[in-house]
Amino acid sequence: MQNVFAGKKIVIGVTGSIAAFKVAGWVSDLAKEEALVSVVMTPSATKFIAPLTFAALSGNDVSTEMFSAAKEDTMAHISLGREADIVLIAPATANTIAKLANGFADDLLTTTVLATRAGVLVCPAMNSRMYSHPATRQNIVKLKELGYTVIDPACGMMACKEEGDGRLPEWEEVKEYLAKSLSPQDLQGQRILVTAGPTREPLDPARFLSNRSSGKMGYALARSAFRRGGAVTLVSGPSTLSCPAGVNLVKVQTAVEMYDAVLDHARHCSVVIKAAAVADYRPEKMYEHKVKKEHIDTRLILERNPDILLELGKRKKAGQLLVGFAAESKNLRQEGTKKLHNKNLDLIAVNDISVDRTGFEAETNQVLLISASGAESLPYTSKLHTADLIWDRVVSLLPASAEKAEQG
């Protein structure tokens, strides 16, 4: 599942909102991802942005008319919906939402939606008063009952100079929901805990001990798990990355904070993956005020941090899967196998950190996966693809659903 969008037929319905221009960038990005994008515009959408823009960006004709004399267009209202892998309506006005909620089919877009059996994603965008009106609220409830995914609008200043809910959500978020709709839902029903990033062990208000972890590997695992239907909590040390859409982010700083957060959440989870690079030691003393350089003791006294994964291994419930990571610079298989056994893990991903393009900070990775049944070297690839391959392995290890870890 290296690129979920490649070759997928995505119908994008654009309706008459000022936010329509933003969707041009979305179409362009999907075309770069090699998706086959067909844009359907309502007549009022064409007042905000020209069909030619979408045609140029998607590389396909744009449909605006329900009835066309052109032979290849006579059944557009059926064929577009029938062939789609997913239908995305963005921006969706209050008017189109009302029509969809009530099964109207008076233009090409609403007809296409009725004719499709693919998933439908709706991104409402409108003035916040219109969005909060009981009629719109009710119609959105109806859309959800019909099985459509409605992505909540963002909050902020709108074109009408009012502030509130109603802005078109950001593309990064919508793209994740699209990816989810196009992915196998083999983690559906699983509550998943992922850890990521470094921990920071403070010395004084200005200084800390830490490591090079950027969080990229852990965030990729969280993103991939959400796409595959998991309910994901991400416990992260300091990182500049944004939280992936649909993921519950718990931010921590120190190893002790991570210990508390992880042990609290792990009780409810069927799978725990620990990609975080937890500091093994912390300064024995944390100074309240910045220590002047002339007063700094050049010998730093350290004390042990708790080993979170070791503790999870001791507390592992029947049916719960525990996956560790190991950052190693030599004897990968030997060191990984030792950690697999010592920490009572089901699987461990061993990272070679002696190479720049794998491990810390890199966009790419190559890990050795070790379980009780042996070792397998995954290919050198992006961290997102590495995450997918790790989830493939986790899925193969999951107990039958009846035996899932007792959650709660």
Q: Which residues of this chain interact with ligand PMT, rule CB under 6 A?
A: 197, 213-217, 255, 274-278, 280, 305, 307-309, 324-327, 339, 351, 353, 359-361
Residue 189's SS3 state is coil
Contacts of 341 (CB under 8 A, 6+ apart): none
Whichever of 34 and 376 has its CB closer to ligand PMT, that residue is: 376
Tell me which residue has tokens 């595959």: 228
Which residue, 231 or 275, is less far from ligand PMT as judged by CB? 275
- Least separation in angstroms between residue 325's CB and ligand PMT is 4
Decide whether 61 or 307 has the Cβ nearer to ligand PMT: 307
Write phi, then psi, for 225 (nearest 5 degrees): -65, -40
Q: Which residues contact 214 (CB under 8 A, 6 or more apart)?
A: 197, 239, 240, 241, 360, 361
**AA letter at 274:** K
Residue 37 contacts residue 30 (beta carbons within 8 Å): yes
Beta carbon of residue 391, minimum distance to ligand PMT (angstroms, whole number):
15
- Whether 160 sits among the annotated catalytic residues: the reply is yes
Active-site position among 123, 155, 160, 243:
160
Residue 393 Cβ vs ligand PMT, minimum distance, rounded to whole Å: 15
- Please check whether residue 174 is in contact with residue 151, taking contact to mean a CB–CB distance below 8 angstroms: yes
Q: How far is the CB of 211 from ligand PMT (least distance, A)?
A: 8
Distance (Å, rounded) from C-alpha 128 to C-alpha 211? 44
The smaller minimum CB distance to ligand PMT, of residues 74 and 329, is found at 329
What are the C-alpha distances in Å from 135 to residues 68, 94, 96, 364?
33, 9, 13, 48
Residue 117 tokens, joined: 């059996």
To ligand PMT, the closest distance from the beta carbon of 203 in angstroms equals: 18
- Which is closer to ligand PMT, CB of 167 or CB of 383? 383
Catalytic residues: 160
